Amino acid sequence: MLDALYFVGGAAKWQTLPDLPDLLFKGRNSPVTPYTPPTEDQLLAIRVNAGIEELSEHEKFAHAEADLVEAIVEGVGQFAAGEFAPLNRVGDLEGAKLENGVVRLPEGYREAYDAYVEQGWNAIASPAEHGGQGLPFTLACNVLENLGSANMAFNLLPMLSVGAIEAIEHHGSNDQQAKYLPDLVSGKWSGTMNLTEPAAGSDVGALRSTATPIESGEHAGKYLIKGQKIYITWGEHELAENIIHLVLARLPGAPEGSRGISLFVVPKYHVNEDGSLGNRNDLRCVSLEHKLGINASPTCVMSYGDNDECVGELIGEPNRGLMAMFTMMNNARINVGNQGNQIAERATQQAMAYATERVQSSRAGSPDKTPVAIIEHPDVRRMLLRMKSLTEGIRALLYYCAGQVDRGTIGDQAAADRSEVLVPLLKAWGTDMGVEVSGIGIQIHGGMGFVEETGAAQHWRDSRIAPIYEGTNGIQAADLVTRKLGLAGGEAIIGLFEEIARECADEDNLAHLATSCAEIARWMQSEASLDDRLAGSVPFCTMAAVAVAGWQLKKQAAAVADGMAPALADVKPVTVRFFLDRIVPEAIGLKAGATAGAELLYSLPAEQLAG
Ligand SMILES: Cc1cc2nc3c(=O)[nH]c(=O)nc-3n(C[C@H](O)[C@H](O)[C@H](O)COP(=O)(O)OP(=O)(O)OC[C@H]3O[C@@H](n4cnc5c(N)ncnc54)[C@H](O)[C@@H]3O)c2cc1C
């Protein structure tokens, strides 16, 4: 169908252009951006990298049996392709709109969200006592993976709700859990995370929103919330019946900085004792940001307490709000890293379809001088294989990380520590690669990638946010070379690299990369100044991520060679080989940057550098 839209008879003519607006705006069932779930590869990663079978041996995850896992992965893939993907293009073109204080989404979004809630996809990993299915986090990652590949902007709605659920689950009182969790878990209500303010971005500790105790009256014991939050994802919309905002604010007399921040739950509509919805709370969406991408995700400037009547409840301990946020930040960052995988998958599928149809020139190395589809040219092959093997690498890292998180929740401390080390790697490298892969997707489309009609540009525009939010990738790398470097007395990170070097002794490049990572980590732990560490943090983070992804891909290739996933028997050895022979050596080359130190960076005063 895509072919018919782009080209007629494989010739490079834009013959269907007059019909294009019709097709673009049709929304549901539009043929413009189909999505085919990579079910086999996802299942392979879930089995090999997350180790789902071993997880299901523990009583907590006993019902995650092979049949159920397959049913979920296939089911959500089909749902995403059928319901979310057809809305991706119209969401980009029309976007979310603010009309008289109400955020409207293009036609079809409400029905698709209703179907998502009705089919129970929101509840996969939430606790059973609040209506969830209590399945491993690994499977929740797969739900988000499919939904996000289908429609990255729309997927942010359930993704943000997960953050709110986790905050209330871990830090809310029993009453708060009973009041808010069932409807958040089902998806009837949605959630938001409110950290950012105009003067508080990466430095969350600088935030100024306030919370004043209410001494008497109907809301005694609660707090009056006042302040402005910016960039709040899905901060206002009508797809869910209520929106539960998690808001960071300061109590009177709270210490300056991050030690004086508390966490509050602030519902859009008050919730009565019997669970019914009461009056509207004093909060509103002031405006929507005009963005580079994810246009269907309303990014809201939110105002709390314009009339001094915005009521919220404290979650957890006073002044411990940032700590509470940290609890779920790990998973939130994994979910953003997952977005790199999602958009890379979608861009790769589109580039493959285009490269198979677009005919240009004969293949230079062939005696046959008939023009061929561009997929036959060596450089296009290189680009396509790069896209595919990077995408599979992010996926392997994603599910390895998710499996470690799941092991952590059943008491495996070493796995919990390892997941902490893996999170910045996945978030930073995964999202950087999402941008790279979707950028290559544009390149493969040639000029048609730069014009908007094909949709290739949308993937790149959408991908660009993921390295920025949920802690920029620079902040992720800083986390790696500070907090994560010292975890478990420094052994968490060293142990990881040593294990890779040991297990991959038969792969020279990979073993070399892992050994280099261990050397850099030791240098950073014992010799380098803080400035030197931070100066080398991003290249080091990339090296570490490539080492882990290569290791996990190698495990996949071995499993496929042993007969797992027969449908991938031809393709997997090639994509893994490409990764090990082309991507890994590039990462080895980053060592110079990782260990160069900060001296050169500070050899010019800021005025001279900027001048
Ligand atoms: C579309 C979108 C959706 C968002 N959704 C939400 C949401 O739902 N909830 C929410 O609370 N926020 C949200 N955000 C905000 C987002 O998390 C912030 O934009 C992000 O944390 C970066 O903050 P900033 O924009 O103020 O950039 P800054 O903090 O000003 O950073 C600018 C640059 O300086 C670098 N930098 C800053 N400090 C340091 C440092 N100490 N060391 C090294 N480098 C540094 C950064 O890495 C970055 O490259 C969203 C943002 C966008 C654009």
> How confident is the model over 434-462, as pLDDT tens digits?
999 999 999 999 999 999 989 999 999 99
| Protein residue closest via CA to atom 27 of ligand 1 | 201
Q: Is residue 465 lining ligand 1, measured as CB closer than 6 Å?
A: yes
The tokens describing 430, both together, are 């995964």
Q: Is residue 231 lining ligand 1, measured as CB closer than 6 Å?
A: yes
| Protein residue closest via CA to atom 14 of ligand 1 | 231
Q: Is residue 296 lining ligand 1, measured as CB closer than 6 Å?
A: no
How far apart are the CA of 552 and the centre of ligand 1, in A? 30
Plot region of 200 (φ>0 → left; ψ -120 to 50 → alpha; else → beta): beta
Task: Indicate whether 144 pLDDT > 60.
Answer: yes
Ligand 1 atom with the smallest distance to the CA of 291 is 1
| Protein residue closest via CA to atom 44 of ligand 1 | 474
Where would I find the beta strands (DSSP E) of 328-392? none
Task: Compute the distance between CA of residue 224 and CA of residue 240 in angstroms, rounded to an integer.
Answer: 24
Q: Is residue 232 lining ligand 1, measured as CB closer than 6 Å?
A: yes
Task: Indicate whether 399 pLDDT > 80.
Answer: yes
CA separation, residue 410 to residues 62, 130, 136 (Å): 12, 19, 10
Q: Is residue 475 lining ligand 1, measured as CB closer than 6 Å?
A: yes
Q: Is residue 468 lining ligand 1, measured as CB closer than 6 Å?
A: yes
* Mean pLDDT for the chain overall: 93
Residue 434 burial by CB count (10 A; 0-12/13-18/19+): exposed, middle or buried? buried
* Residue 20, C-beta contacts closer than 8 angstroms, at least 6 positions apart: 5, 453
Q: Is residue 190 lining ligand 1, measured as CB closer than 6 Å?
A: no
pLDDT tens for 245-272 read: 999 999 999 999 999 999 999 999 999 9
- Pairing outcome for strands 97-99 and 269-271: unpaired
Ligand 1 atom with the smallest distance to the CA of 194 is 11
In contact, 435 and 346? CB cutoff 8 Å: no
Give percent of the chain with pLDDT exceeding 90. 91
Task: Compute the distance between CA of residue 131 and CA of residue 602 in angstroms, rounded to an integer.
Answer: 55
How far apart are the CA of 298 and the centre of ligand 1, in A? 17
Ligand 1 atom with the smallest distance to the CA of 473 is 47
CA angle 586, 588, 593 (to 5 degrees): 95
The tokens describing 161, both together, are 């709700």
What H or E segment, with its residue span, contains residue 133? none
pLDDT tens for 67-118 read: 999 999 999 999 999 999 999 999 999 999 999 999 999 999 999 999 999 9
> Mutate which of 468, 531, 602 to test ligand 1's pocket (most atoms within 8 Å of Cβ)?
468
The tokens describing 286, both together, are 């002031």
Ligand 1 atom with the smallest distance to the CA of 203 is 29
Task: Compute the distance between CA of residue 244 and CA of residue 269 in angstroms, rounded to an integer.
Answer: 8
Task: Indicate whether 184 pLDDT > 60.
Answer: yes
- Residue 54 annotated among the catalytic residues of the structure: no
* Residue 178, C-beta contacts closer than 8 angstroms, at least 6 positions apart: none
Band of residue 323 on the pLDDT scale cut at 50, 70, 90: confident
The tokens describing 311, both together, are 């009521």
In contact, 430 and 397? CB cutoff 8 Å: yes
In contact, 340 and 394? CB cutoff 8 Å: yes
Q: Which residue has tokens 């796995």?
A: 415
The tokens describing 32, both together, are 């413009």
> Mutate which of 152, 156, 161, 196 to test ligand 1's pocket (most atoms within 8 Å of Cβ)?
196
Task: Compute the distance between CA of residue 337 and CA of residue 423 in angstroms, rounded to an integer.
Answer: 8
Question: Which pLDDT score, from 0 to 100, does residue 326 have?
Answer: 81
Q: Is residue 196 lining ligand 1, measured as CB closer than 6 Å?
A: yes
Please write down the HEC assignment for all residues of 51-105.
CHHHHCCCHHHCCCCHHHHHHHHHHHHHHHHHHHHHHHHHHHHHCCEEECCEEEC
Encode 550-560: b = buried (16+ Cβ within 10 Å), e = exposed: bbbbbbbbebb
What H or E segment, with its residue span, contains residue 229? strand 223-233
Task: Compute the distance between CA of residue 175 and CA of residue 163 in angstroms, rounded to an integer.
Answer: 19
Question: Which pLDDT score, from 0 to 100, does residue 33 have?
Answer: 59
The tokens describing 60, both together, are 């907590």
Question: Which pLDDT score, from 0 to 100, does residue 32 have?
Answer: 54
How far apart are the CA of 242 and the centre of ligand 1, in A? 27
How far apart are the CA of 202 and the centre of ligand 1, in A? 5
Task: Compute the distance between CA of residue 359 and CA of residue 198 in angstroms, rounded to an integer.
Answer: 50
* Residue 596, C-beta contacts closer than 8 angstroms, at least 6 positions apart: 535, 536
> Mutate which of 292, 469, 479, 531 to test ligand 1's pocket (most atoms within 8 Å of Cβ)?
469
Of the listed 166, 169, 357, 470, which one is catalytic?
470
Q: What type of residue is 193?
A: M
Query: Quick one: average pLDDT of 515-531?
Result: 98
How far apart are the CA of 231 and the centre of ligand 1, in A? 10
How far apart are the CA of 111 and the centre of ligand 1, in A? 33
pLDDT tens for 532-589 read: 999 999 999 999 999 999 999 999 999 999 999 999 999 999 999 999 999 999 999 9
CA separation, residue 564 to residues 7, 555, 558 (Å): 38, 11, 9
Band of residue 293 on the pLDDT scale cut at 50, 70, 90: very high
Nearest CA to 34 among 461, 345, 434? 345
The DSSP code for 200 is B
Q: Is residue 472 lining ligand 1, measured as CB closer than 6 Å?
A: yes
- Pairing outcome for strands 189-194 and 242-249: parallel
pLDDT tens for 428-439 read: 999 999 999 999
CA separation, residue 32 to residues 9, 35, 80, 238, 458 (Å): 18, 10, 15, 27, 12
Could you tell me the sign of the dihedral formed by the alpha carbons of 172, 177, 180, 186, in that order?
A: positive
How far apart are the CA of 472 and the centre of ligand 1, in A? 6
- Angle formed by the axes of helices 39-48 and 66-79, nearest 10°: 140
How far apart are the CA of 409 and the centre of ligand 1, in A? 29
* Residue 128, C-beta contacts closer than 8 angstroms, at least 6 positions apart: 134
Ligand 1 atom with the smallest distance to the CA of 233 is 8
Question: Which pLDDT score, from 0 to 100, does residue 345 have?
Answer: 98
Ligand 1 atom with the smallest distance to the CA of 192 is 8
> Mutate which of 190, 203, 228, 231 to test ligand 1's pocket (most atoms within 8 Å of Cβ)?
231
The tokens describing 5, both together, are 């839209």
Nearest CA to 291 among 345, 233, 343? 233
How far apart are the CA of 300 and the centre of ligand 1, in A? 15
Query: Quick one: average pLDDT of 197-205?
Result: 95
- Reduced to 3 states (helix: H, G, I; strand: E, B; else coil), residue 274 is coil
pLDDT tens for 299-318 read: 999 999 999 999 999 999 99
Secondary-structure breakdown of the chain: helix, strand, coil percentages, each rounded to the nearest 5: 60, 10, 30
Calculated CA dihedral for residues 461, 91, 97, 161, nearest 10 degrees: -90
Nearest CA to 391 among 445, 352, 443? 352
Task: Compute the distance between CA of residue 39 and CA of residue 147 in angstroms, rounded to an integer.
Answer: 13
